[in-house]
Amino acid sequence: MNVFGILKLLDKHKRKRGRRISLKNLIPGLFLGIMIPLAMILVIYSSYIARSVEVSSSQSSRSQLEIFKSHMESTMKATERVMSGMVSGNAQFQSFSVELMLNDMYNRSYNVQEILKSNLTANQNLYTMAVYSPVNNWYTGEYNSYYEITSSQRIKAQKNLEAEIKRLVNQGDFDLSKWFFHSIGGRDYLLRGMNYRTVYCIAVIDLDRLNTIAVLDYRMNGTLIFGEGETMVYPNLELGLAPGEILKAGDSYLITGTAKKYLVVSDQAGYITLIYARPYDGILNEMNLFHIIVILCAVMAVVAVPFVSIWLWELVVNPISHLTNTIEAIRNGDLSAHVDTYAVEEFCQVNDMFNQMIDEISELKIASYEKELEKQNTEYQLLQSQIRPHFYLNCLKNIYGMAESGKNKEIQQTILHLSSYLRYIFTITKDYVPLQKELEVCKNYTDLFSLNQHQSIEFSITYDAVLTNIPIPPVSLLTFIENSIHYGFVSGQKLKLVLKVSRIVTAERVLIHITVGDNGPGFEQSVINSIDKEEIMVDGKGKKHVGIYNVLKRFRLCYGDDFAAAFRNREGALVELFFPYTEGEEL
């Protein structure tokens, strides 16, 4: 058994304890293990709801835009059919391509105006249709009064339209190939024109008026923006988006990042881009009551986790922790430790019963301790009395042998060493002696033996200077030195004894490590077995050897389970002793 084996033996109870589950950690762990995943699920589900509501809102806006687009495309196609029919097959319209008398123009315009009125009535999105004959300098127009602006605004718009249409036609700037955007008098229009020689049929869609129609007829509570390519011809909102970015809303939707947010969707009506920007007041305003309740539950779950954890810690974990700390203090010998009272009724009952039990145990332990102390003192004195005669007889036997040989000088030196030894033995009145005293008597004994037997012994002592005054049982190390001398000699070999005292520092404690070794034949296996079993050694002749047994017994009485010993063979007999060291503990 080596040092690590001894440390493993001493910490065995701690390792067993480490495999247990702590209730004060288990309860918060279970709570957090349930609440945190639940809160995460609610947060994820809330995010899913928010995204779903946002997508649903965009789909609703897109559906409104698609309905409006369908009606607008229908208006544009129907108007083009009427214009095409008039240009290609209406004789009255075609007759305006040549110069006519004023009366003839009025007579022939009746049929043309009726066609224009009929198309305006059928297509509310169309603002006006007009006929312009530059040859006759004649312009006539019909206007849709549906959701009309004020009369003064209408008259002003009509004058501006007539003047600008004449200008575009006369200067050759009127694009007859398609519908096109044009700003007239501060208002934005979508124009379409067809001609028969020098007479023109013009259709006009007022974009400002379209927004009013979109709100009243299509329940579109936002703003319509029109574009062609990447050119926005009606950008009257601060969206904070480039035209190219707005067009991306055709595949999905966008939410602007400006101070006033908009949800933007777009669609294509031929080469014309329709953009619908609806005010966006935040996801909560888009949700129904159920969605809001789920979001609130998620927020409450996340917020509740730390507060409930603190509350659970105060009500459950702290009482359990205090109870375990109190038990640990009592296990370390502090019977005055008691458990506090807590708010939980069950803890109060347990704590009151526990405190009452500790008080009773304390009283019983005091009485038991006094009896045990008396018993240990009696046993300790008996063990010491068994050790001392063992040394006396060995010394007297050696002196007797020298007297027979007439070695007077050796007898004198022996008696000096023996008197020093006996003085140590007879003056022991306590259960402990300083380590330094025990080391001196060991050296004295080896010198005494060398004088008696004329056999030189090489004895080395190494020790930590800090440990010179630590307490150890008297005549303990001397017993191992005597055994090494008695059993360690090998014929033709000088006996070498080593005694070493050191400290072993671990994370948990500091241990004193004492090593006694020789270069002899070592321990017999039966001796090691008896020591491991803590039995008295009996040799083949039935003789009992109590020296080592008594030393180990006395160490065990002093240090209890904190003492450990190891006996093994390594180039001779080797004894290792381990017991705790308390800094400042001296004699």
Q: pLDDT tens digits, residue range 394-422?
A: 667 777 777 777 777 777 777 887 787 77
Least Cα distance to 135 among 169, 96, 166 occurs for 96
DSSP H or E segment with residue 575:
strand 573-580
Average pLDDT for 496-524: 89
From residue 117, give the alpha-carbon distance in Å to each of 120, 134, 141, 145, 412: 5, 22, 9, 11, 154
Amino acid 178: pLDDT: 93
Amino acid 161: pLDDT: 92
- For the cut 90, the answer to whether the pLDDT of residue 203 exceeds it is yes
Amino acid 493: pLDDT: 84
Buried/exposed code over 552-583 (b: 16+ C-beta within 10 A; e: otherwise): bbbbbbbbeeebbbbbeeeebbbbbbbbebee
Q: Alpha-carbon distance 245 to 271, whole Å?
A: 18
E strand residue ranges, 197-299: 199-206, 223-228, 231-232, 254-255, 262-269, 272-279
Amino acid 454: pLDDT: 64
Q: Alpha-carbon distance 542 to 178, whole Å?
A: 130
Q: Which of 357-361, 386-390, 471-475 has the lowest mean pLDDT?
A: 386-390
Q: Alpha-carbon distance 74 to 428, whole Å?
A: 124
Six-digit token string for 293: 């309740």
Question: Which residues, 6+ apart, have CB-to-CB distance to 209 below 8 Å?
Answer: 127, 147, 149
Amino acid 380: pLDDT: 47
Average pLDDT for 320-340: 70
3-state helix, strand, coil in the chain (%, to 5): 55, 20, 25
Which amino acid, one-letter code, is at 187? R
Q: Alpha-carbon distance 415 to 395, whole Å?
A: 9
Average pLDDT for 204-211: 89
Q: Alpha-carbon distance 129 to 207, whole Å?
A: 15
Yes or no: domain 386-580 corresponds to CATH 3.30.70.20: no
Which amino acid, one-letter code, is at 94? Q
Do residues 553 and 536 make contact, with C-beta atoms less than 8 angstroms apart? Answer: no
Q: What is the pTM of this model?
A: 0.49
Where is pLDDT greater, at 99 or 405?
99
Which amino acid, one-letter code, is at 552? L
DSSP H or E segment with residue 194:
strand 187-196
Question: Which residues, 6+ apart, have CB-to-CB distance to 233 below 8 Å?
Answer: 181, 183, 188, 207, 226, 227
- Can you give the C-alpha Rg of the chain in angstroms? 56
Amino acid 171: pLDDT: 95
Average pLDDT for 305-322: 72
Strands 495-505 and 457-463: parallel
Six-digit token string for 332: 């370390």
pLDDT tens per residue across span 63-90: 999 999 999 999 999 999 999 999 998 9
Confidence at 250, pLDDT banded by 50, 70, 90 = low
From residue 67, give the alpha-carbon distance in Å to each of 77, 267, 524: 15, 11, 107
Average pLDDT for 455-464: 86
Q: Give me the chain's average pLDDT, please.
A: 79
Confidence at 13, pLDDT banded by 50, 70, 90 = very low
Domain spans in the chain, listed from the N-terminal domain onward: 49-285, 386-580
Give the Cα-Cα-Cα angle 498, 504, 510 (nearest 5 degrees): 130
- By percentage, how much of the chain surpasses pLDDT 90? 20
pLDDT tens per residue across span 230-245: 777 766 677 777 767 7
Least Cα distance to 133 among 155, 154, 106, 115 occurs for 106
